[in-house]
Amino acid sequence: MTDELLTEFTGSRAVATFNRPSARNAMTWAMYDGLVDFCERVDADENVRVAVLRGAGGKAFVAGTDIAQFSEFRGARDGLAYERRIESVLARLERVRVPVIAAIEGYATGGGLAIAAACDLRVCTEDAKFGIPIARTVGNCLSMATYARLVHLVGAGRASTLLLTAGFTGAREALGCGLVSEVVEPDRLTGRVGELADQLAGQAPLTMLASKTAIRRLREHDLPDGDDLVEMCYGSADFAEGVAAFVGKRAPRWRGR
State the pLDDT at residue 13.
98
Assign 102 to helix, strand or coil. strand
How do residues 88-107 score in pLDDT, each as one tens digit? 999 999 999 999 999 999 99
Assign 235 to helix, strand or coil. coil
Top-level class of domain 5-201:
alpha beta
Q: How confident is the model at residue 25 (pLDDT cuts 50, 70, 90)?
A: very high
Burial label for 207, CB within 10 Å (0-12, 13-18, 19+), is exposed
Question: Rounded to two decimals, what is the model's pTM?
Answer: 0.96
State the pLDDT at residue 1.
55
State the pLDDT at residue 17.
98
Domain ranges (residues) in the chain: 5-201
State the pLDDT at residue 66.
94
Alpha helices in the chain (DSSP H): 29-44, 76-94, 111-117, 144-154, 156-165, 171-176, 189-201, 205-220, 227-234, 237-247
Q: Are 102 and 123 in contact (CB under 8 A)?
A: yes
How do residues 147-201 score in pLDDT, each as one tens digit? 999 999 999 999 999 999 999 999 999 999 999 999 999 999 999 999 999 999 9
